[in-house]
């Protein structure tokens, strides 16, 4: 049987594991695909770099452009990362009728449309299971298994670095910076952790998930994004005292009338009884709620060389089978053309801790302000006395715009000395 020839772009954390698995499992992969898979070349930036695995020097090249356009290449795997040259290389490959597998969430979120259009024009496949939640099968269930259902909400922990940091803060009482330092020492966080701790990585994944869940294209800039750098040990401790844990969540949810949806990434308090609360260390987990299927949960390793390569190899088998059958996998589905509503229209709850003057009438004035914005209060309690007096309030569900307006006015009240804690509450509705 004529082999399917594979060009690999990148031989770093993920790429090196793709090579190892292609080699170690070559007989099984050939049997599953229906033809042997053969590496045609491996594009890297530095030929002389010492690598985790041995790569035949004859396969290595720094000329990725020539590699992806070679006539003897059928499938291109892109694990370089970043926007350029990854985008140009993928488009060049797709335009020549090759199929492409990518793990590049940043590129898919920023300009997925260009890639999908190139795949359609070239009549090839574009698969990207590894781009969200590493090893966890999540995109194929959304794209195929749930294609007959109506997804209401996707709620998940999709960034292992921030989950590791928040978990350490919760279990040891560490500060954000101490937990970050430990994550860096253990290799869970990059030297420059911005993409993770500021929520960019999770926002890119949220854009991809929302696009699949709601059959609409989601521009990355429409994802509301907040990171975890401002979370203090006190925030974590007070959440814990109330039976909550703080997680960085990616939330994609249809509006009640189903006409729009929201996509957001921000830290939130969730009850310790919620299944996502038990997601520890660098693990990922995603909850999907669909009208007929009900609640589904996907859990596992969201990153790492071998777990991510597992997802890439799954795509490789699927794409290989499609090529042999002369067919293509499912195209991008954007027929619904739903729009992303602004963050202000999102319905959520708020936990607020206010340092207040300890005198009669304070509670009434604060409550009055909530009522003015139509925000009802679920619980309120006073902690401490005198200079230490604090009002801890948890609201019922209200629009984020109403909650923000309430907070703006609260800050201006003479009886409110400062806002000591402010966090959205999710997962108990």
Ligand X SMILES: NC(=O)c1ccc[n+]([C@@H]2O[C@H](COP(=O)([O-])OP(=O)(O)OC[C@H]3O[C@@H](n4cnc5c(N)ncnc54)[C@H](OP(=O)(O)O)[C@@H]3O)[C@@H](O)[C@H]2O)c1
- Per rule CB under 6 A, is residue 43 in the interface with ligand X? yes
**Distance of closest approach, residue 273 Cβ to ligand X, in angstroms:** 30
Q: Which of 98, 168, 205, 247 is catalytic?
A: 205
In this complex, which beta carbon is closest to ligand X, that of residue 66 or of residue 295?
66
- Among 104, 162, 216, 284, which residue interacts with ligand X (rule: CB under 6 A)? 104
Q: Where are the alpha helices (DSSP H) in 190-232?
A: 194-197, 200-214
Does 130 interact with ligand X (rule: CB under 6 A)?
yes
Cis-peptide into 413, omega within 30 deg: no
Min. distance of Cβ 200 from ligand X in angstroms? 11
Give SS3 for 61: strand
- Give the separation between CA 181 and CA 185, rounded to whole angstroms: 6
**Any catalytic annotation for residue 205?**
yes
Checking DSSP bridges between strand 151-157 and strand 244-254, what pairing results, if any?
Answer: antiparallel
**Residue 10, annotated as binding a ligand:** yes
Residue 62 vs 295, nearer CB to ligand X = 62
For β-strands 37-43 and 60-61, DSSP reports them as: parallel
User: Is residue 134 at the binding interface for ligand X, with CB under 6 A as the rule?
Assistant: yes
C-alpha to C-alpha distance for 377 and 396, rounded to whole angstroms: 6
Minimum distance from CB of 18 to ligand X (Å)?
9
Cα 53 to Cα 20, 133, 315, 331: the distances in Å are 7, 24, 22, 35
Answer yes or no whether residue 15 interacts with ligand X by CB under 6 A: yes
Q: Is 329 annotated as a binding residue?
A: no
Q: Does 44 bind ligand X (CB under 6 A)?
A: yes
Structure token pair of residue 90: 């993928």
**Binder to ligand X among 94, 263, 276, 303 (CB under 6 A)?**
303
Query: Least distance to ligand X from the beta carbon of 84, Å?
Result: 8
Pair 56, 23: CB distance under 8 Å: no
Which region, judged by CB under 6 A, interacts with ligand X, from 76-84, 112-120, 357-365, 409-417? 76-84
372-411: b (≥16 Cβ within 10 Å) or e:
ebebeeeeeeeeeeeeebbbbbbbeebbbebbebbbeebe
CB-nearest residue to ligand X: 12
Which parts of this chain interact with ligand X (CB under 6 A)?
A: 9-15, 43-46, 49, 64, 79-81, 85, 103-105, 130, 134, 303-304, 308
Active-site amino acid positions: 205
């Amino acid at each position: 049987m004529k082999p399917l020839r594979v060009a690999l772009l990148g031989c770093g954390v993920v790429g090196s594991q793709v090579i190892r698995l292609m080699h170690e499992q070559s007989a099984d992969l050939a049997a599953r695909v229906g033809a042997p898979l053969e590496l045609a070349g491996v594009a890297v930036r530095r030929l002389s770099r010492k690598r985790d695995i041995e790569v035949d020097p004859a396969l290595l090249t720094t000329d990725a452009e020539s590699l992806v356009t070679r006539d003897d290449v059928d499938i291109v795997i892109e694990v370089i990362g970043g926007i350029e040259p990854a985008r140009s290389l993928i488009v060049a490959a797709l335009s020549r009728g090759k199929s492409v597998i990518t793990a590049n969430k940043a590129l898919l979120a920023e300009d997925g449309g260009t890639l999908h259009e190139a795949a359609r024009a070239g009549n090839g496949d574009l698969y990207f299971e590894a781009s969200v939640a590493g090893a966890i099968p999540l995109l194929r269930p959304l794209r195929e298994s749930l294609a007959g259902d109506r997804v209401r909400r996707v709620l998940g922990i999709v960034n292992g670095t921030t989950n590791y940091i928040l978990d350490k803060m919760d279990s040891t009482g560490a500060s954000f910076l101490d937990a970050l330092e430990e994550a860096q020492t253990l290799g869970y966080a990059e030297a420059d952790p911005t993409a993770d701790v500021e929520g960019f990585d999770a926002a890119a994944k949220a854009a991809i998930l929302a696009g699949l869940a709601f059959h609409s294209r989601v521009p990355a800039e429409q994802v509301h994004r907040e990171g975890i750098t401002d979370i203090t040990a006190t925030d974590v401790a007070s959440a814990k005292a109330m039976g909550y844990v703080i997680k960085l969540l990616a939330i994609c949810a249809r509006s009640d009338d189903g006409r729009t949806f929201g996509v957001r990434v921000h830290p939130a308090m969730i009850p310790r009884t919620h299944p996502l609360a038990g997601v520890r260390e660098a693990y990922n987990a995603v909850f999907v709620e669909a009208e007929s299927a009900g609640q589904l949960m996907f859990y596992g390793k969201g990153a790492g060389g071998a777990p991510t390569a597992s997802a890439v190899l799954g795509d490789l088998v699927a794409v290989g089978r499609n090529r042999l059958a002369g067919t293509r996998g499912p195209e991008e589905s954007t027929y619904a053309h739903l729009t992303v509503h602004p963050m202000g229209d999102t319905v959520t709850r708020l936990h607020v801790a206010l340092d207040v003057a300890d005198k009669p009438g304070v509670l009434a004035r604060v409550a009055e302000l909530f009522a003015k914005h139509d925000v009802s209060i679920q619980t309120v309690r006073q902690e401490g006395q005198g200079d230490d007096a604090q009002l801890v309030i948890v609201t019922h569900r209200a629009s984020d715009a109403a909650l923000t307006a309430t907070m703006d006015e609260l800050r201006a009240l003479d009886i409110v000395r400062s806002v000591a804690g402010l966090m959205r509450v999710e997962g108990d509705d």
